[in-house]
């Protein structure tokens, strides 16, 4: 929790200090001008700004909670990117404005005094409101990234309280702080934190389908780093760096940090050497003082207290008598308006049915509020009352069959779970992150046919399919060892025509083992790695394997140039064959790969991106399809018992894609992807897309769910 609290503490401290300085300057300016009677107008604007920020946070939380899982990812990702933009602008603005802040606000207050009470309220509201909205947005994104709200809220609260104490001390001349140095130091730290929030937001956009590349991982240390270890929690909580990150996340993180931090540091150095113009002798003492830089350790531009006798430092213009009204009317109105608007959005802006039940989700209150619903399609408002993110399932307590589920329900948030209820018994199972699964008391629903539920899958259920698929991979690797040895011998003997044919045969064998790529660990990069991320591209020393040999065979390289890459390929395949029996093959990978293998096919092979000159991407796609068919074969019994209609649809889709691929295969050659006519390419992409859509439920149907 405390790891998640630090980013929010820093934003609360920094934004709180900014807002506090602004309020201090507003108050001091009015006191010096002899206009203490106008102070309620300042506090009215400040309270209105606070109410607006809190209401904005409530609307964000409610809006996200009422969306589907995919829409939540897209919504949260978009707001994370916006929050990063606001924080970046705030950091640079405060670096530039720390010294001149007092003068700017005094000028605005002076103008507002001349224009009446309403303008003073508006001035203070706008001055503080921006800080409040930025704070609400950034706190919401950091809490969502943390997966819990307690830590971020505690951190922000401590930061704001500390900021208030610092501002009081500055106002009363108890403390002296060099604000320029303070905002420079915190700005640098916030830039690092914002880089992590940007990466997290882009990952959300990938998960929500807005951006591509959600399976293109640049870093995957999940097998070698314990995500629950203290150091993992610390790094993820403070910097939003996770063991698994996509290329988009890594590039965005590094690019943002490199560009923004460079500009920030350059601006700090420029400001440090910029000469300060001395005040002209003819200026009044007060003007000359404001033009001088702040003394070391003294906050620049801080307001000066009135004289001890209470008289203003300069003669103030007498105020015109104002019509008297109750002092509480304006503050109450401006504070209530944003709260009422937010309440109206929450009350009437959602789609909560009148009879929807609100059900608690936590270790202590799992299922609280659940009563026997009526048969039919029902919406349940699942509210996480605990302090941990949680998964929640609507189950049949006798068989553990799942009727509906929500994953990643953050603390303090509410989301809809829609399920069709019929005759039978129902209960809730709450599975908090890092906690023990809890099952609620069951209720009985009478009437209607039996409800449709998914029987959960355990590791034991996947044991037999996993064993069968391992045997398939072992056989494939044995064949592959012989094929790559033949390929290496062809090249060593100078027979490049035979090597081209043998290359395709071997590569198709490897492509048909797609469900095991994650298990192959580093061997996959060595055997089938691409040039993405390599500084020297096809000339890079780390460009090895099938695609390196492909490039040489179809770009005129000699047998002597290719002998070493081909021999290394054969060695790596042999090493993989020896290592595979001892490698950890996660059974959960089997249902995931039914979709992911062809997803990669659509992304790389059917676009031609992976082609290094052979023009055989459709042959690789054909091998990927064969591998998917094999994988579905070992999973078929589990799928048939859970969704009888799924397999006939998928089988028909596979036949359709197979016919389209066969039409591009002529004797020993394959039509290159870029040579397909527009209609044929569109049909192939469309058929593959439809197959992927029909395969999409497989990971959910065969997901290993925690039951105890």
Model pLDDT for residues 275-320, shown as the tens digit of each residue:
545 544 444 433 333 333 333 333 444 444 433 344 444 444 444 4
- Residue 559: what pLDDT? 95
Residue matched to tokens 């059974």: 587
Range in 238-252, 342-356, 526-540, 665-679 with the lowest mean pLDDT: 342-356
When pLDDT is averaged across residues 106-135 and rounded to a whole number, the result is 64
Beta-carbon contacts of 174 under 8 Å, excluding residues fewer than 6 positions away, are 168
Could you tell me which residue, 251 or 283, shows the higher pLDDT?
Answer: 251
Task: Map residue 441 onto helix, strand or coil.
Answer: coil
| Tokens found for residue 79 | 């707001």
Could you tell me the pLDDT band of residue 477, with boundaries at 50, 70 and 90? Answer: very high
> Is the Cβ–Cβ distance between 132 and 52 less than 8 Å?
yes
When pLDDT is averaged across residues 11-22 and rounded to a whole number, the result is 72
Could you tell me the pLDDT band of residue 485, with boundaries at 50, 70 and 90? Answer: very high
| Tokens found for residue 610 | 């992976």
Q: Which of 669, 555, 542 is nearest to 612 (CA)?
A: 555
Could you tell me the pLDDT band of residue 1, with boundaries at 50, 70 and 90? Answer: very low
Question: pLDDT by residue (tens digit) across 415-469?
Answer: 888 888 888 889 999 988 878 889 999 999 887 655 567 788 888 889 999 999 9
> Is the Cβ–Cβ distance between 403 and 432 less than 8 Å?
no
Could you tell me the pLDDT band of residue 39, with boundaries at 50, 70 and 90? Answer: confident
- Residue 287: what pLDDT? 37
Could you tell me which residue, 579 or 90, shows the higher pLDDT?
Answer: 579
- Residue 292: what pLDDT? 36
**Percentage of residues in the chain having pLDDT higher than 70:** 70
**Kind and range of the H or E element at 384?**
strand 376-384
Residue matched to tokens 């290592």: 579
Beta-carbon contacts of 417 under 8 Å, excluding residues fewer than 6 positions away, are 379, 380, 382, 392, 394, 404, 405, 406
> Is the Cβ–Cβ distance between 246 and 214 less than 8 Å?
yes
- Residue 211: what pLDDT? 86
Cα angle 548-551-556, degrees, rounded to a multiple of 5:
130
When pLDDT is averaged across residues 578-595 and rounded to a whole number, the result is 88
Neighbour tally for 280: CB within 10 Å: 9
Which of 458-472, 513-527, 691-705 has the highest mean predicted lDDT (pLDDT)?
A: 458-472
> Is the Cβ–Cβ distance between 35 and 109 less than 8 Å?
no
Indicate if the pLDDT at residue 62 is higher than 70. Answer: no
Q: How far is CA 366 from CA 155, 352, 430, 436, 441, in A?
A: 27, 21, 6, 12, 9
Could you tell me which residue, 136 or 239, shows the higher pLDDT?
Answer: 136
* Average pLDDT over all residues of the chain: 77
HEC profile for 473-534?
HHHHHHHHHHHHHHHHHHHHCCCHHHHHHHHHHHHHHHHCCHHHCCCCCHHHHHHHCCCCCC
> Is the Cβ–Cβ distance between 144 and 76 less than 8 Å?
yes
> Is the Cβ–Cβ distance between 47 and 331 less than 8 Å?
yes
Q: Which of 622, 607, 600, 642 is nearest to 515 (CA)?
A: 600
- Residue 65: what pLDDT? 54
Indicate if the pLDDT at residue 340 is higher than 60. Answer: no
Residue matched to tokens 């699964």: 437
Question: pLDDT by residue (tens digit) across 544-583?
Answer: 999 999 999 999 999 999 999 999 999 999 999 999 999 8
CA distance linking residue 111 with residue 119, whole number of Å: 9
- Residue 488: what pLDDT? 96
Q: Which of 519, 511, 532 is nearest to 580 (CA)?
A: 519
Neighbour tally for 185: CB within 10 Å: 11
- Residue 401: what pLDDT? 86
Which of 37-46, 177-186, 248-257, 297-306 has the highest mean predicted lDDT (pLDDT)?
A: 248-257
CA distance linking residue 478 with residue 26, whole number of Å: 79
**Percentage of residues in the chain having pLDDT higher than 90:** 27
CA distance linking residue 127 with residue 27, whole number of Å: 13
- Residue 549: what pLDDT? 96
Q: Which of 411, 381, 410 is nearest to 394 (CA)?
A: 381
**Kind and range of the H or E element at 280?**
none
Cα dihedral sign, 251-253-259-265: negative
What distance lies between CA 429 and its chain's CA centroid? 26
Could you tell me the pLDDT band of residue 165, with boundaries at 50, 70 and 90? Answer: confident
Could you tell me the pLDDT band of residue 130, with boundaries at 50, 70 and 90? Answer: low
- Residue 217: what pLDDT? 74
Indicate if the pLDDT at residue 476 is higher than 60. Answer: yes
β-bridge partners, 444: 425
- Residue 172: what pLDDT? 72
Could you tell me which residue, 374 or 706, shows the higher pLDDT?
Answer: 374
CA distance linking residue 180 with residue 172, whole number of Å: 20
β-bridge partners, 517: none
The values of phi and psi at residue 374, to 5°, are: -80, 155
CA distance linking residue 198 with residue 255, whole number of Å: 11
Could you tell me the pLDDT band of residue 107, with boundaries at 50, 70 and 90? Answer: low
β-bridge partners, 454: 402
Could you tell me the pLDDT band of residue 510, with boundaries at 50, 70 and 90? Answer: very high
């Amino acid at each position: 929790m405390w790891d998640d609290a630090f980013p929010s503490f820093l934003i609360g401290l920094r934004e709180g200090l900014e807002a506090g300085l602004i309020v201090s300057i507003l108050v001091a300016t009015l006191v010096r001008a002899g206009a203490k009677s106008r102070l309620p107008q300042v506090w009215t604007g400040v309270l209105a700004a606070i109410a607006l920020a809190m209401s904005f946070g409530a609307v964000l939380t409610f809006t996200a909670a009422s969306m589907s899982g995919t829409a939540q990812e897209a919504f949260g990702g978009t707001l994370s990117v916006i929050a990063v933009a606001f924080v970046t602008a705030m950091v640079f603005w405060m670096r530039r404005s720390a010294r001149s802040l007092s003068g700017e606000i005094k000028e605005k207050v002076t103008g507002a005094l001349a224009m009446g009470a309403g303008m003073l309220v508006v001035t203070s509201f706008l001055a503080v409101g921006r800080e409040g909205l930025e704070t609400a947005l950034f706190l919401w994104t950091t809490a969502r990234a943390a997966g819990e709200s307690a830590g971020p809220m505690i951190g922000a609260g401590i930061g704001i309280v500390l900021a208030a104490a610092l501002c009081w001390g500055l106002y009363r001349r108890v403390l002296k702080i060099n604000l320029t140095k303070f905002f420079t130091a915190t700005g640098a730290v916030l830039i690092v934190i914002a880089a992590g929030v940007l990466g997290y937001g882009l990952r959300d956009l990938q998960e929500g389908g807005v951006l591509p590349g959600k399976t293109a991982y640049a870093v995957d240390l999940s097998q070698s780093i314990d995500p629950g270890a203290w150091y993992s929690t610390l790094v993820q909580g403070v910097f939003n760096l996770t063991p698994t990150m996509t290329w988009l996340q890594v590039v965005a993180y590094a690019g943002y940090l490199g560009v923004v931090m460079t500009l920030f540091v350059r601006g700090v150095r420029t400001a440090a050497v910029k000469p300060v113009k001395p005040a002209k002798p003819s200026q009044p003492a007060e003007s000359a003082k404001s033009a001088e830089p702040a003394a070391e350790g003294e906050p620049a531009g801080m307001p000066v207290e009135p004289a001890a006798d209470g008289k203003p430092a300069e003669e103030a213009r007498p105020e015109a008598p104002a019509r008297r009204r109750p002092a509480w009317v304006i503050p109450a109105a401006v504070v209530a308006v944003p709260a009422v608007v937010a309440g109206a959005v929450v009350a009437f802006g959602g789609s909560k049915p009148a009879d929807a039940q609100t059900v608690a989700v936590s270790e202590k209150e799992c299922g609280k509020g659940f009563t026997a619903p009526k048969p039919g399609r029902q919406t349940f408002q699942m509210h996480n009352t605990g302090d941990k993110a949680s998964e929640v399932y609507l189950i049949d307590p006798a068989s553990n069959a799942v009727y509906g589920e929500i994953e990643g329900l953050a603390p303090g948030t509410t989301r809809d779970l829609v399920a069709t209820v019929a005759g039978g018994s129902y209960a809730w199972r709450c599975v908090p992150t890092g906690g023990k699964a809890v099952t609620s008391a069951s209720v009985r629903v009478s009437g209607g046919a039996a409800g449709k539920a998914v029987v959960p899958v355990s590791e034991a259920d996947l044991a037999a399919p996993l064993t069968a698929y391992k045997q398939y991979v072992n056989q494939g690797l044995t064949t592959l060892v012989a094929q790559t040895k033949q390929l290496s011998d062809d090249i060593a003997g100078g027979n490049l025509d035979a090597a081209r044919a043998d290359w395709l045969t071997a590569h198709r064998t490897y492509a048909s083992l797609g469900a095991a790529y994650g298990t192959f660990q580093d061997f996959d990069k060595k055997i089938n790695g691409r040039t993405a991320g390599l500084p020297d591209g096809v000339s890079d020393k780390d460009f090895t394997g099938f695609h390196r040999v492909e490039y040489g065979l179809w770009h005129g390289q000699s047998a002597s140039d290719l002998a070493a890459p081909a021999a290394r390929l054969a060695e790596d395949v042999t090493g993989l064959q020896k290592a595979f029996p001892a490698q950890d093959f996660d059974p959960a990978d089997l249902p995931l790969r039914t979709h992911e293998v062809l997803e990669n096919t659509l992304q790389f092979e059917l676009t031609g991106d992976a082609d290094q000159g052979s023009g055989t991407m459709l042959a690789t796609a054909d091998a990927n399809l064969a591998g998917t068919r094999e994988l579905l074969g070992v999973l078929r019994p589990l799928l048939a018992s859970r969704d009888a209609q799924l397999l006939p649809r998928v089988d028909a889709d596979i036949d359709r894609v197979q016919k389209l691929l066969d039409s591009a295969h002529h004797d020993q050659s394959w039509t290159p992807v870029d040579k397909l006519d527009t209609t044929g390419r569109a049909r192939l992409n469309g058929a593959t897309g439809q197959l992927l859509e029909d395969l999409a439920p497989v990971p959910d149907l065969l997901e290993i769910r925690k039951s105890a």
